[in-house]
Amino acid sequence: MNIATIQGVKGVVTCAEDGTAEHVFNIKNATDRARRIGIHLLVPEGTPEGWLTIDEPTEYDLDVEGMTQIRVKIQAPTDGTPGQYSYRLRVFDPDSPGEHYATGDPVYFEVSAKEGPVLEPEKPKKPFPWWIAAAAAGVVVAGLLIWVLMPSGVELPDFTEGDWDRDTAVAFLEENGLEHEIELQEVSNSRTASAILDQTPEPNMKVEKGETVTLKVAGVKVPKFIDGSLSDAVLKIRSRGLELGDDLTIKSVGNQDQHDKVLDQDPEVNTLVPRKTPVNLVVGQYQRKDFNLEKVPQLKQYFMQLPQQNQTVKPFKLPKRNQ
């Protein structure tokens, strides 16, 4: 079911010299009721997914005929391969992403070739100023004295700035002999999904080895998967930034209505967990004869291929056993 209209940029947008560009999409509710929508990018092979960022929350509430704007930021690296790239925007219902969605037309951006530097003629070399060496030696001695006299401890960087995320921040603390605690805070903005939101002690403070540094990071509330289909659960796990756990259990059921339905989940509904937390499911399979619990490893491969899909995702269903 097409739940929205997506109006994107026509033509090709050329990135600036620093590799930046932006696409603006107008999303309008195409149904006869208010609806909550999620946003996802479909990136084909050949377009680096890391160059694209949705510069807004990834879920919205739209009234009947309601409209909102979505901005997609493009940041190509300075050494990015010149050429033309594309992607598409998908809008979906978070509660039934496999049935209610809309996919926009491809939009394009171009990375131009960089011009080489202009070489200036070599200037004649001047005699080496030996007085600079003497001054440098004095600076080194002064620096050693300052280092010896300064108080000991590890100076904390500002984990809320730059490329710090939970993993790199924890690695820094462990390498410097510091303990750490993680506090979770629910956020809806995808740009802060992996970022450090706050820290204690504050940046630039010096702390002794063995002390504890508290990091506040983005968390996700686990949605309800129970009573829904396995296919919808997998898509909902991906859209919320979670991971499908390896402990997927298939349970024999005698009621056909429970076939391909989620019977249990871990973590529980509304539990606040870090991004990329594995979610383990128990799924019903109808059959006439009882059998032992089994694992379904092929579902993990299906889950990992979801962000690479450039077309409608075919639902994953369990076969019914009749023996």
What is the per-residue pLDDT across 158-182, written as a single tens digit (0 to 9) for each? 998 888 888 899 999 999 999 999 9
What is the per-residue pLDDT across 240-261, written as a single tens digit (0 to 9) for each? 888 998 888 888 888 889 999 9
Residues 9 and 97 occupy one common structural domain? yes
For the chain, report the end-to-end CA distance as a whole number of angstroms.
Answer: 36
Question: Last residue of some domain: 220, 243, 258?
Answer: 220
Cα–chain-centroid distance for residue 258? 33
Q: 186 is written with which tokens?
A: 């629910």
Residues 202 and 282 occupy one common structural domain? no
Average pLDDT over residues 119-146: 69
Q: Which domain holds residue 290?
A: 222-308
User: Among 20-29, 39-48, 59-68, 187-196, which stretch is predicted with the lowest mean pLDDT?
Assistant: 187-196
**What pLDDT is recorded for position 189?**
57
Q: Which residues pair with 200 in a beta bridge?
A: 214
- Is 286 inside any structural domain? yes
Which residue did the predictor score with more confidence, 311 or 193?
193
Using pLDDT thresholds of 50, 70 and 90, give the confidence band for residue 289. Answer: very low
What is the per-residue pLDDT across 41-80, written as a single tens digit (0 to 9) for each? 999 998 999 999 987 677 888 899 899 989 999 999 988 8
Rg (CA), the chain: 27
Residues 102 and 37 occupy one common structural domain? yes
- Is 119 inside any structural domain? no
Residues 243 and 283 occupy one common structural domain? yes
- Is 9 inside any structural domain? yes
Residues 216 and 226 occupy one common structural domain? no
Burial of 63: CB neighbours in 10 Å, binned 0-12, 13-18, 19+: exposed
Residues 35 and 87 occupy one common structural domain? yes
- Is 51 inside any structural domain? yes
For residue 192, is pLDDT > 60?
A: no
Residues 234 and 295 occupy one common structural domain? yes
Residues 236 and 212 occupy one common structural domain? no
**What pLDDT is recorded for position 254?**
87
- Is 130 inside any structural domain? no
- Is 313 inside any structural domain? no
